[in-house]
Structure 1
Amino acid sequence: MAGQRRPQRRKQPRAGSFRCAGCKADVSMDAPGTAHRNHCPQCLTSLHLDRRVPGDRDAGCGGRMEAIGVTVKGAGEWMLIHECRRCGGLAVNRIAGDDNALTLMRLAMRPLSGSRLSL
């Protein structure tokens, strides 16, 4: 037995939460300002699970969605633009009231050059 390593136990997220695919934080499913939490409030990473309607879980991809920009709806509501790293799909999602403000501002200030959304 000397020299053998014990397998690490993976801590399971609490019921009503999920483990972020980006920063590995435990994220509560409750999100102020939206009915469907679909991204980590710290790093803004999501998973490609929904196809057309938030919460439909119809996408077969399951890839990691990286926040690549923000846009603003007509009433001034900020929306995250996510790009799937597996299939390249784009999605627009509502921000939540507990999203990290500094991370959002950094994303909003990032130039769009070099991304699929460049002008």
Structure 2
Amino acid sequence: MSHTTSHDPLSNHRYTDTEPSAGDFACGWCGAVASAYPPDGGRRGHCPSCLHARHDTPSCDARMTPIAVAVPRDGDWRVIHRCVRCDALSDRPVNGDDNQLVVMRMAVRPLAQPPFPLEAFAFAVGAV
């Protein structure tokens, strides 16, 4: 399937002319076409390729950027999104067919980029 993508710099959205079939949707950010229903069941809340979502509220309807992964007490991983227009936060479950590399990159980001110099951590551990 071929498609073209255009970009609206004011809203930071990308639009595609791909016509998804019934039960599918085209991601407004990366253009990937995916099933609205993941293999895990339920309804998909974000693109399985880039993990971006849409803020589906009457007053906003902007893109939601994936910013983190959370693991609540029930053990199910969730993607945390932030709206690019109103800064609202939301969470959606990680699905079995989500891009595992993107999910893991978000999960290890706090370890790879800590908010303090690693040398300070090594000094504190050595002092114990």
Please give the TM-score of this superposition, normalised by the length of structure 1: 0.74
Which consecutive aligned stretches of 4+ in structure 1 deviate over 2 angstroms post-superposition?
A: 111-114
Please name the residue that 1:90 is paired with.
Answer: 89
Q: Which one scores higher on RCO, CA 8 angstroms, separation ≥ 6? A: 1
Please name the residue that 2:40 is paired with.
Answer: 33
Please give the TM-score of this superposition, normalised by the length of structure 2: 0.69
Superposed CA deviations along residues 46-97 of structure 1, whole A, max 9, x for unmatched, are 0001xxxxxxxx5431110010001002121100100000111000111111
* C-alpha RMSD of the superposition: 2.2
What stretches of structure 1 of length at least 5 have no aligned partner? 1-8, 50-57, 115-119
What stretches of structure 2 of length at least 5 have no aligned partner? 1-15, 116-128
The number of equivalent residue pairs is: 99
- Separation (CA, whole Å) in 1 of partners of 2:109 and 2:36: 28
Larger Rg: 2
- Of residues 26, 29, 35, the one that matches 1:22 is 29
1:54-93 matches, cutoff 5 A: 58-93=57-92
Identical positions, percent: 41
- Report the alpha carbon displacement of residue 11 of structure 1 after superposing the two structures with TM: 2.6
